[in-house]
Structure 1
């Protein structure tokens, strides 16, 4: 009987094929949970150059300091922003750069992986802003007819 040895690359390819978010044990569910968070979407859009409130207008992706991101994201707490930035850095979606100045300068920018996700979140943000009036009207209609 012949033994079949699986290489590391083959194991990685097999694991990748087995990711199925519809299965309860799939690790991609945790990733989906993280990237669907509103602060993640807004941070990715901000670093991707989509800080303009007008859909369809954008600048090039850019590095931003913590204080810039904080000012841009109205309502985010310091704790939530710090936690979200750390989780995005851990996932490889953004890079944190520390410059030894007085005081120390820390900036954040999207990695290639983060930029690829940013293209998706840009569409979601744009859709939400474009269709909010319709959604609000539908909610009102639903609430009137179900109470």
Structure 2
């Protein structure tokens, strides 16, 4: 039985699917859902102001997406954007706040891109001490 479900979110189609899956599980188990989004750590000084504005706009946009999905299902969802490496941020919060389940999407990389890129979901599966559900399309 799940009491607390953490979702890694970045606004992609895969993360939206992960959120929808987490909300369905929350409905079944009566669990609480928290969505965390990792934002880039820092920017070069000359780009800082523009990127900060883009991050704020992104957070507003993602809050609305999350609110709409959760409202349609009748499940309350907490959202927290945090600066840092996505896998580290998600793993840290899952551990610190004692989540039962972490739900993330899978980008579905193939071929050479899969060899040279290490996805957030892969890192979490390998390093998290919490149960991780990777939602594939």
Mark yes or no: TM-score above 0.5.
no
Instruction: State TM-score, norm by structure 1.
Output: 0.26
Larger RCO, structure (CA 8 Å, separation 6 or more): 2
Instruction: State TM-score, norm by structure 2.
Output: 0.27
Higher strand share: 2
Higher helix share: 1
